[in-house]
Amino acid sequence: MSALQCKPSQLLQLAKATIIQPMLPHFHKGQAGRILIIGGSEDYTGAPFFLGHALMQMGCDLTHVVCDAVAGSTLKTYSPDLMIHPYLVSSASERVKGFKGVPKTDSEADLVVFLDDSPSDVKAFIDSHVTLRINSVVSRSINVTVVGPGLGRDPLVLYTAQKTLALILLSGNPVIIDADGLYLVSLKPSILTDALNSEQSNSQVVLTPNIMEFQRLCKAVNVSVDLEKLSSKDPEARDTYTTELATLASNRLHNVSLLVKGYHDIVVNGKTSMVLDHSKSVIPSLRRCGGQGDTLTGILATAMAWAANYQKGRLWDIYEHSHVVEGLIGRKKLTKDEGIILSCYLATLILRKSSSQAYAEKKRSMLASDVGKFIGSSYEDLVGE
């Protein structure tokens, strides 16, 4: 039996007995998560902040943010809890004035050409002044990387993200791709497929598209979308159709996992899928303010860091509750894919509960920053200490 066949109440029990990392007296800083965010630009500083704060509030120990120089100074004033590395250089920077061949328009075709075949002076500059600095952060025992929130769509930044993503995928560590990271993958899906086809890579990749990003992604991998069916008012019909599309898209992207956000979030992983309907346990929030997706990605990143530690089995006795696990799935240990699906289940449940609690207090004035404040209490209500 697979974790996918468990009832919702059993899934929480399964998560507690497996991927939820205990807090033990002998642990040292970093063991509950060392997460890297690549995102934050002149235009968007909220996204990496919501994400970074959410993952720390979920229990991660250390968060590094690699962002644009301008975003860096702003982010440092928001929060001393995040480690900010303002290494990304955009084409607006004085440092790259005079570089030829950097697209100056929003044309996606020009951007793809630039990503495929960047001029040699651009390549040399990024390699020696930017990628090298980012690699020094990547090499600090990072256990999950999130690429995209607030990254923006500047050609030099996307080129740098492309190079960094390829490196991280080869390292075998879990990666979440969100927001502008999804835009990058939609422009050039081979970024993912090339790296994941390589024998060196066994990275677990989760894409977290909102409905617009999902449509863009489907188009990029030649999955045709019937918009009427995708936005059907009948939840069951919509869930079935979204699952069908997401499965096709996942298959064309080397079976990466997709967490498609919407009225019900849907997780798909190769051939398996699950509709994450929390409506029976959580009163839904009716607020759709920006930043809730970033908050969800943060919670998910920490859950995935713990799931990766669970798979390695070195930090705590992962078989302590194996009788519970065996009773639920007939085996003592989850597979890697089950760990990812369970992480998505847990993250969406905690996000929905946090939004619900924030909404109960603030109603129409609820903001993403209010949601973040309820992550701790939601976690405690659902999981315990």
Ligand X SMILES: Nc1ncnc2c1ncn2[C@@H]1O[C@H](COP(=O)(O)OP(=O)(O)OP(=O)(O)O)[C@@H](O)[C@H]1O
Shortest separation between residue 290's beta carbon and ligand NAX, angstroms:
3
Q: Which of 11, 47, 65, 342 binds ligand NAX (CB under 6 A)?
A: 47
Among 132, 211, 237, 360, binds ligand NAX (CB under 6 A): 211
292 is in an annotated binding site: yes
Cβ-based nearer residue to ligand NAX, 179 or 299: 179
Q: d(Cα 171, Cα 194) in Å, to the nearest integer?
A: 14
Task: Decide if residue 351 touches ligand X (CB under 6 A).
Answer: yes
The one of ligand X, ligand NAX, none whose footprint includes residue 46, by CB under 5 to 8 A per kind, is ligand NAX
Does position 293 interact with ligand X (CB under 6 A)? The reply is: yes
- Answer for the pair 217, 188: CB distance below 8 angstroms, yes or no: no
Please list, residue by residue across 150-179, b when 16 or more beta carbons sit within 10 angstroms of its beta carbon and e when fewer do. Answer: bbbbbbbbbbbbbbbbebbbeeebbbbbbb
| CA 76 vs CA 50, 59, 67, 68, 294: distances in Å | 13, 21, 11, 12, 18
261 assigned to a ligand binding site: yes
The number of residues making up the chain comes to: 385
Residue 234 near ligand X by CB under 6 A: no
Structure tokens at 349: 């449940």
- Among ligand NAX, ligand X, none, residue 265 binds (CB under 5-8 Å by kind): ligand X
Q: In the complex with ligand X, which residue's Cβ is closer, 103 or 149?
A: 149
Q: Is 216 annotated as a binding residue?
A: yes
- Residue 351 touches which of ligand NAX, ligand X, none (CB < 5 to 8 A by kind)? ligand X
Q: Which positions from 263 through 292 interact with ligand NAX, judged by CB under 6 A? A: 290-291
Q: Residue 180 interacts with ligand NAX (CB under 6 A)?
A: yes
Burial 190-226 (b: 16+ CB within 10 A, else e): ebbbebbeeeebebbbbbbbeeebbbebbebbebebe
d(CA 158, CA 366): 32
With CB under 6 A as the contact rule, the residue among 284, 335, 363, 381 that binds ligand X is 284
Q: Which residues bind ligand NAX (CB under 6 A)?
A: 44-47, 149-151, 179-180, 210-213, 290-291, 294
Residues tagged in the binding site annotation for ATP: 261-265, 284-293
